[in-house]
A = this chain, B = another copy of it.
Amino acid sequence: MLQLPSVALENLHQFSATEAARLIREGGISSEQLVTACLDRIAETDEKIEAWTFLDPDYALAQARAADELRASGRPIGALHGVPVGVKDIFDTADMPTECGSPLYAGRTPSGDATVVARLRAAGAIIMGKTVTTEFAYFAPGKTRNPHDPERTPGGSSSGSAAAVAAEMVPLALGSQTNGSTIRPAAFCGVIGFKPTHGLVSRARVLALSRTLDHVGLFARTIDDIAILAEALAGHDERDPDTRPRARTPFAQIAAAAPPVPPVFAFVKTPMWERADGETRAGFAELIESLGERVEEVELFPSAAEVWEWHKTIMDAEMAANLAREYDDGRDRMSEQLRALIERGRRVSAVDYQRALSRIAPLNESFDEMFEQRYDAILTPAAPGPAPTGLASTGDPCFCTLWTYCGMPALSLPLLESENGLPIGVQLVGPRGGDARLLRTAKWLAAKVAERE
C-alpha cells in the first residue's frame, strides 16, 4: 500500500530526499514532477537569493525523464533515484562548467566528474546544477544572499548549497569545508550541514586547497537525508590517498535507530567562546539546562588553544602550494584576501609546517580518550551568532577550525533561534570514524528539543 507523502503534491519541492526517493521508487511521483517543482521553486525565489551559478532547466528535466524511463524499465535503481542535488561549483562535472568562483576559471568545463558526482549519478541522483562558491572556496563572497534576510550573508564558502537547501530549491546539496565552509553556512541558513570524518568521502577532482584540511560537506533539511546522502558518498577512492578501504557503513539504518541508552554530551566552549554573542550564550544556557544530567561542561586540554595557529599554518602553506600556478599567472584577478593568504603561505617554513601537521594525531588521541571515557558527542556553537548583516564577509569560521583541523565529524543543527527569528546553529562533534553514530545522537537531540517546544 502506498504511504501518503507528508506534504501535498503541489508542494513537492518541500519533500525530503528520503520521502521523495521512496515515492519515486514506489511510483507515487515521477522524478520529472519532483524536478519540475524544484525548478518552479527556483524560478520563484532565486532572483532574490542567487544560489546558482549554473542551471540548465532543460538539462535537469532531461536527466529526470531518463531516470523515470530507467525506473519504468524495471532495472535496479539507486537510493537517490530521481532526486535533485545541488553541487558546489568546485566539484568537477563533465557536463557543466566548473569555475570555482574565480574569473581565472571562467568557461572551464572539466573532462570528467569528481568521484562524488559520479557516485551521486550512480545512486540515481539528478545533478540539478552548480551552486555559488566564494572565490576558490576561500573568503571573497559570491552573489548569494541569505534566504532568511537578503541583507545578510548566507555564510561561506558553500554559500549557494546552503541557501538552495534552505530555500527548498533542492533537498540535498554538496559543499566543502577547509575551515568552516559547511557548518557556518548551514548554521546561518538554518539547515543541517555535515562534515564527515576526514578521508571518509573522496575529494578526487574537487578543487584542492589543502589535502590535510579539505573535506566534502553535505547539506539537507533532515538528518535522515544527511544519512542517505553520506551512505551514497562514502567510500574508498584510489584517487584520494586519504580514503581507505573499509566495510560499507549503513548510515541510514544506524541514524534511524534509537540510541541503546540516552547519550551524554560534553559541552565545550572552546577558547573562542568570548566571540559568541549574547543570543548564542543564552540559547546554549537554555539548551544545557533542558538536557539536565545528559550534559556536562568539559574544559579542553591546554594544547587545544594552539590549534587555530596550527590550522592557519597548514591552510596558508597548502593553499600557497596548490594555488601556485593561479597566483603566478593571475594574481591580478585574485581578491586581496586570497593574495595575502598565498603570500603568507609562501613564507611558512617546512619545519613549522611539519610541526603544525604533527599535532593532529596526538590531539585526536586526546579526544578519543575523552569520548571513550564518557561522551557520545561534543556540543558547541556552530558560529558566534546568527548570520551577520552585510554581504562583504561570509562570517567567522572560528567555531569550526578545531574540528576541521582534527578531521572529526561535525554536524550543524538549526535548533536555536534569535529574537528576530534567525536560525542559530548547534554543532555536534564526534570522534573520527564515528559518523553514523553522531547522526543517531543528533536525532535523539533534535527529538528532545522538539518535545520541549
Chain A residues packing against B (C-beta within 8 Å): 241, 317-318, 320-321, 324, 345-355, 358, 361
Tell whether A349 pairs with B349 under 8 Å between CB atoms, given A241-B361, A361-B241: yes
Cβ-defined partner of A346 (8 Å) among B324, B345, B349: B349
Whether A317 and B348, one on each chain, are in contact in the complex, defined by CB atoms closer than 8 angstroms, is no
Min CB gap A42→B, angstroms: 40
How far does the alpha carbon of A346 sit from the alpha carbon of B330 in the complex, in Å?
30
Considering the complex, give the chain B residue whose CB is closest to the CB of A352: B350
C-alpha gap A95/B355 in the complex (Å)? 31
CB nearest neighbor in B for A244: B244
> Are A320 and B350 in contact, with the CB atoms below 8 A?
yes
Task: Check B321 against A351 for contact (C-beta < 8 Å).
Answer: yes
Min CB distance, A369 to chain B, in Å? 15
A-B contact pairs, 26 of them (CB 8 A): A241-B361, A317-B350, A317-B351, A317-B354, A318-B354, A320-B350, A320-B351, A321-B350, A321-B351, A321-B354, A321-B358, A324-B351, A345-B350, A345-B351, A346-B349, A346-B351, A347-B349, A348-B349, A348-B350, A348-B351, A349-B349, A349-B350, A350-B350, A350-B352, A353-B353, A353-B354
Whose C-beta in chain B lies nearest to the C-beta of A313? B350
Which residues of the other chain, B, contact A324 by a CB distance below 8 angstroms?
Answer: 351
Q: A211 CB to closest chain B CB, in angstroms?
A: 9
Q: Chain B contacts of A321 at CB under 8 A?
A: 350-351, 354-355, 358
Q: From DSSP, what is the main secondary structure of chain A's interface residues?
A: helix
A329 to chain B: closest CB distance in Å? 16
Complex Cα distance, B211 from A358, in Å, reads 11
Chain B residues whose C-beta falls within 8 Å of the C-beta of A351 in the assembled complex: 317, 320-321, 324, 345-346, 348
Closest B residue, CB atoms, query A211:
B354
With A and B bound together, what is the CA distance between A354 and B353 in angstroms?
10
| Nearest CB on B from A297, distance (A) | 32
Bound CA–CA A358/B208 (angstroms): 13
**In the complex, what residue of chain B is closest to A321 when comparing beta carbons?**
B354
Give Cα A349–Cα B348 distance, bound, in whole angstroms: 6
A318 to B318, CA, bound (A): 16
Q: Whole-angstrom distance from the CB of A338 to the nearest CB of chain B?
A: 15
Given contacts A317-B354, A347-B349, A350-B353, 20 further A-B contacts (CB under 8 A): A241-B361, A317-B350, A317-B351, A321-B350, A321-B351, A321-B354, A321-B355, A321-B358, A345-B350, A345-B351, A346-B349, A346-B351, A348-B349, A348-B350, A349-B349, A349-B350, A350-B350, A350-B352, A353-B353, A353-B354
Q: Chain B's nearest CB lies how many Å from the CB of A213?
A: 13
Inter-chain contacts of A355 with B (CB < 8 A): 321
| A357, closest chain B residue (CB) | B321
- Whose C-beta in chain B lies nearest to the C-beta of A358? B321
A324 to B352, CA, bound (A): 11
CB distance from A79 to the nearest CB of B (A): 28
Residue of A321, A355, A358 contacting most chain B CB atoms (<10 Å): A321
How distant is the Cα of A317 from the Cα of B353 in the complex, in angstroms? 10
- How far is B347's CA from A351's CA once the two chains are assembled, in angstroms? 8
A347, A349, A350, A355, most chain B CB atoms within 10 A: A350
Residues on the B chain within 8 Å of A350, using CB: 317, 320-321, 345, 348-350, 352-353
* Residue in B closest to A342 when the chains form the complex, CB atoms: B351
- CB of A380, distance to nearest CB on chain B (Å): 28
Across-interface contacts of A345 in B (CB, < 8 A): 350-351
- Measured between alpha carbons, how far is A350 from B349 in the docked complex, in Å? 5
A-B pairs, top 3 by smallest CB distance, nearest first, are A317-B350, A350-B353, A321-B354
Q: A241 to B199, alpha carbons, bound, how many Å?
A: 14
**Complex Cα–Cα for A320 and B324 (A):** 25
CA distance A348 to B354 in the complex (A): 11
CA distance A288 to B41 in the complex (A): 73
Within the complex, the shortest CB–CB distance from A155 to chain B, in Å, comes to 29
Min distance, Cβ A132 to any Cβ of chain B, angstroms: 29
Bound complex: CA A324 to CA B350 (Å): 12
Between A324, A349, A353, A358, the greatest number of chain B beta carbons within 10 A of the residue's beta carbon is seen for A349
